[in-house]
Amino acid sequence: MKKYVSLFIYLLILSGCSNPGGRSWMIPVTIDPSDLDYTPSSMESFEGRRNQLIDSLSGSYVILRSADQCSANRHEFRPNNYFYYLTGYTARGSYAILAPDPHQSFTLSVPYQSIRTLIYEGGKLPEEEIREKYRPDRLLTYRESRELIDSIVQTGATVYMDRSDRTFLRELQRLAGEDETIRFRHVGELVDEIRVIKEPVEVEYLQKACNITAMALTNVMKECRPDLYEFQIESVIEGTFLEYGSAMPGFNSIVGSGPNSTILHYEPNMRKMEDGDLLLMDIGAEYGYYTADITRTIPVNGRFTPEQRTIYQLVLDAQLAAIEQMKPGNMFMDGHMAAKEVIVKGLTELGLITDPTSHWQIKFYILYPSSHFLGMDVHDVGDKGGSFTQFMEQTPLESIESRVLEPGMVLTIEPGLYFREKGLEQLHEIFEAEADSIEMAQFIETVGPIYEQYINTGVRIEDDILITTGGNINLSRYAPKEIDDIEQIMR
């Protein structure tokens, strides 16, 4: 716990460098990737994680490969998350094997090398350096590691591997010579709970990823204007990522304007933006294999219309109420429930909900649970203490069971409201199983003229929250979100 106290103080000092509420937007991020360099102390994290895991192996093995080769030329190489999390090693075509053996618990293999790989991929790290940096008990050649994997599989022991790597799973099953899928279990069963609580070094990468993303969003606010294409905004965003040493986004950038702001996972980013549009950007730089996930919604011409302002402020109020609930001892879904309460109340006052206890009316506007874990995966691993469906069924006054929050967890909070052009027309199709058709017709008649004013308004505001002993730290606090601040920067 003590390490989070010092981290908190460190972040407090950092936040003193800027003035999030004021007019100047100093984001504490520099072009300096030296924090990604190998240090002996950074290697201790990887060793600590492995030791935790090895203690729980009891006769079974972990076999991970650094990555599959399927998408080799299409995307930049990035190691498999479990492989990296447990080794710190990033070479393509390598294996890590953890065994319940006190003398040789960690085996690493060097990638296959030939004159051809030397010509195409350059020289590899010398073996001595691999040994020294990554500290395997045993370093094997590619061929030797394949033999070792084969012999482990032949013993009939349980093998933990990344089951999302389907090619490797099929390969292991073939080696086993029988259709014994049960023996190959998901490594997440052992690792995910460790990944849920972030170590200080992980938080530092997440903070930097957030700061780079905040810089990208601020740059967009400065450059955005009508008649630009969405992809030009995407270029400002991803150009900023690269400028600060983020090799790639953590997920496809969502840059949706006007009607596209109402599409939750819009991706083409090809539309020409118009005067009066909203622009929704759900983006995240990846840094040190950790990704930010921040959403901001801005008016393309720099000024919110009264209707946009109404919806924006409602979502912002909901989001702020949610962040207040995000502290140790409270539950994972308490933030979502607080946001839901504010939104349902606001929509009822606006005449967009006629019955605040109606499940289907609430679900018509609130489309997803507003939080997920964040880390190496944008929807990071870890048990949330309930399912999507359970999280969606509750009306604001009902209580909901989910996981208790602990210091070191990082989760998003992203309430949103989306007024699709044909939203009301789709009501019957969405809710035919649970709502009475006369009831729906009455709803459409009452709400229709009001809904009309908000068509093509899509607002989502998303921050990344670190739970601390004292409450939380908003890692994405440098990305402006108050109406006045956004309009000021866009002026």
Candidate ranges 56-64, 254-262, 409-417, 480-488; the one touching Mn ion (CB under 5 A): 409-417
| Smallest gap from residue 372 Cβ to Mn ion (A) | 6
Candidate ranges 22-30, 113-121, 292-300, 357-365; the one touching Mn ion (CB under 5 A): 292-300
Residue 293 contacts Mn ion per CB under 5 A: yes
| Smallest gap from residue 423 Cβ to Mn ion (A) | 22
| Smallest gap from residue 271 Cβ to Mn ion (A) | 22
Residue 234 contacts Mn ion per CB under 5 A: no
| Smallest gap from residue 85 Cβ to Mn ion (A) | 21
| Smallest gap from residue 465 Cβ to Mn ion (A) | 11
Comparing CB distances to Mn ion, the nearer of 61 and 373 is: 373
Comparing CB distances to Mn ion, the nearer of 286 and 293 is: 293
| Smallest gap from residue 332 Cβ to Mn ion (A) | 14
Is-contact 456 259, C-beta < 8 A?
yes
> Do the bridges between strand 95-98 and strand 106-109 make them parallel or antiparallel, or are there none, so unpaired?
antiparallel
Please report, for residues 192, 425, 436, 459, the alpha-carbon distance to residue 430 in angstroms, rounded to integers and kept in the order given.
Answer: 35, 10, 12, 21
Sole binder of Mn ion in the list 80, 291, 412, 472 (CB under 5 A): 412
Is-contact 386 333, C-beta < 8 A?
yes
Candidate ranges 66-74, 217-225, 286-294, 416-424; the one touching Mn ion (CB under 5 A): 286-294
Is-contact 362 341, C-beta < 8 A?
no
Dist. CA 93–CA 66, nearest whole Å: 6
CA-angle at 71, arms to 109 and 66, nearest 5°: 20
CA 171 to chain centre: 30
The number of residues that bind Mn ion (CB under 5 A) is 2
Candidate ranges 77-85, 351-359, 404-412, 427-435; the one touching Mn ion (CB under 5 A): 404-412
Residue 476 contacts Mn ion per CB under 5 A: no
| Smallest gap from residue 283 Cβ to Mn ion (A) | 10
Dist. CA 318–CA 306, nearest whole Å: 18
Dist. CA 366–CA 310, nearest whole Å: 17
Comparing CB distances to Mn ion, the nearer of 93 and 250 is: 250
Closest C-alpha among 416, 376, 409 to residue 475: 409
Radius of gyration of the chain (CA): 25
Tokens 């309430």 locate to: 415
Is-contact 374 293, C-beta < 8 A?
yes
| Smallest gap from residue 462 Cβ to Mn ion (A) | 5
Candidate ranges 96-104, 195-203, 288-296, 327-335; the one touching Mn ion (CB under 5 A): 288-296
Sheet holding 410-413, edge to edge: 410-413, 463-468, 471-474
Binding residues (CB under 5 A) for Mn ion: these are 293, 412
